[in-house]
């Protein structure tokens, strides 16, 4: 305008980040319902940065204490495959046919019956309990414990924190891993677990084969049918082969492809990763506390303004 003064609009008051009450977070006045003003969130976090940093330092210190007080562990792996005896499993089919002709119960015949239960035995509690009992490992698992530890707790600790079994169906192999503070001990335990599994399955197969042979010999005395007697003799021959295999082959159910050796590289703890996780958790907790505190204060002001 000519000869007139140009009105100057009053400048908007600057936003002070010193007070969180002046920083709207969710939602701001210019934001739509349900939207979060990211700029306001950033300003609020910056205003409370010392609180966030304090929580980050606290969590990082706790993570560092855990990382540097936890003992170094080593993992030993033994790779095995299940032994299959497909040719001898025909005895099971023959026994199934004879069940309807003579009084032969479902005892389980043929060398393949041991392999059917091989994997469950390897993952069973009984195997771990037997290994700990035979080697007196309860005291070794709890060297600094002042109270008396039980076998049940030792088995739980061994299964959950020391032993791990991974199956690879595509390759047809199973990896048995033992993680312990001493690499030589870890390798010895891993190989020992597989050897004991073979022993337990082999012993059970021997007992079943002997029992079946005795039963079949008794059945022969009660039948005069030539064909039935020949079939029973075939079953006895199959059970005799099972006895021979079990007595002459230590790796009865699991064949060791790659035995465990004492590892030279530690398996844990990953201290750098633990420290980074502590920092991230501290930052997350700090941010959540700041946002929750701001939300509570805004709700209180809203309630005070309402009549």
Q: Tens digits of per-residue pLDDT, 192-211? A: 999 999 999 999 988 888 88
Q: What is the dihedral of CA 46, 50, 54, 55, to 10 degrees?
A: -30
Cβ atoms of 73 and 254 closer than 8 Å:
no
- DSSP letters, 50-63, are HHHHHHHHHHHHHH
Which DSSP category does 72 fall into?
A: P
**From CA 101, how far away is CA 94, in angstroms rounded?**
11
Q: Nearest 5°: phi and psi at 154?
A: -65, -40
- pLDDT at position 276, please? 94
What strands lie across the sheet with 173-180, from one edge to the other? 163-168, 173-180, 74-82, 254-258
Average pLDDT score, the chain? 80
- Round to the nearest angstrom and report the end-to-end CA distance of the chain: 48
Q: What is the dihedral of CA 123, 138, 261, 266, to 10 degrees?
A: 100
**From CA 231, how far away is CA 294, in angstroms rounded?**
85
Say which residues have a Cβ less than 8 Å from residue 145's Cβ, sequence separation at least 6: none
What sign does the CA torsion over 6, 12, 13, 17 have? negative
Q: What is the pLDDT of residues 264-274, one digit of tens each?
A: 999 888 889 99
Question: Which domains, and CATH codes, for the chain?
Answer: 20-69+270-305 (no CATH), 74-258 (3.30.1890)
Per-residue burial over 22-40, b if 16 or more Cβ lie within 10 Å, else e, is ebbbeebeebeeeeebeeb
Q: How many helices and strands, by DSSP H and E, does the chain display?
A: 11, 4
Chain position carrying tokens 């002459």: 248
- pLDDT at position 42, please? 85
Coarse DSSP helix, strand, coil percentages of the chain, rounded to the nearest 5 percent: 60, 10, 30
Cβ atoms of 130 and 200 closer than 8 Å:
yes
Q: Is residue 1 scored above 60 in pLDDT? A: no
Cβ atoms of 65 and 275 closer than 8 Å:
no
Cβ atoms of 161 and 169 closer than 8 Å:
no
Q: What is the pLDDT of residues 63-96, one digit of tens each?
A: 999 888 888 999 999 999 998 765 444 445 555 5
Q: Considering the entire predicted model, what is its pTM?
A: 0.69
Q: What is the pLDDT of residues 87-144, one digit of tens each?
A: 444 445 555 555 554 555 445 554 445 456 788 999 999 999 999 999 999 989 988 8
pLDDT grade for 16, boundaries at 50, 70 and 90: very low
- pLDDT at position 163, please? 96
Cβ atoms of 123 and 165 closer than 8 Å:
yes
């Amino acid at each position: 305008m000519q000869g007139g003064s140009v009105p100057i609009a009053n400048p908007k008051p600057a936003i002070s980040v010193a007070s969180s009450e002046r920083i709207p977070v969710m939602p701001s006045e210019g934001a739509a319902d349900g939207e979060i003003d990211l700029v306001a969130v950033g300003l609020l976090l910056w205003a409370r940065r010392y609180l966030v940093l304090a929580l980050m330092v606290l969590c990082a210190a706790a993570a560092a204490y855990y990382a540097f007080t936890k003992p170094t562990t080593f993992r030993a792996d033994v790779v095995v495959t299940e032994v299959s005896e497909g040719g001898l499993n025909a005895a099971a089919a023959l026994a199934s046919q004879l069940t309807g002709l003579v009084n032969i119960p479902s005892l389980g015949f043929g060398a393949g019956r041991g392999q059917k239960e091989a994997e469950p035995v390897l993952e069973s509690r009984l195997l771990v309990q037997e290994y700990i009992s035979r080697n007196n490992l309860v005291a070794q698992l709890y060297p600094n414990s002042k109270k008396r530890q039980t076998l049940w707790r030792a088995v739980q600790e061994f299964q959950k924190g020391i032993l791990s079994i991974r199956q690879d169906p595509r390759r047809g192999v199973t990896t048995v891993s033992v993680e312990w503070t001493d690499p030589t001990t870890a390798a010895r335990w891993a190989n020992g677990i597989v050897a004991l599994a073979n022993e337990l399955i082999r012993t059970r197969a021997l007992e079943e084969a002997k029992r079946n042979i005795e039963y079949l010999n008794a059945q022969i005395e009660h039948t005069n049918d030539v064909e039935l007697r020949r079939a029973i003799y075939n079953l006895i021959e199959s059970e005799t082969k099972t006895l021979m295999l079990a007595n002459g082959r230590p790796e009865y159910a699991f064949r060791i492809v790659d035995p465990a050796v004492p590892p030279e590289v530690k398996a844990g703890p990953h201290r750098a990763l633990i420290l980074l996780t502590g920092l991230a958790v501290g930052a997350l907790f700090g941010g959540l506390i700041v946002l929750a505190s701001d939300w509570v204060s805004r709700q209180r002001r809203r309630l005070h303004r309402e009549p």
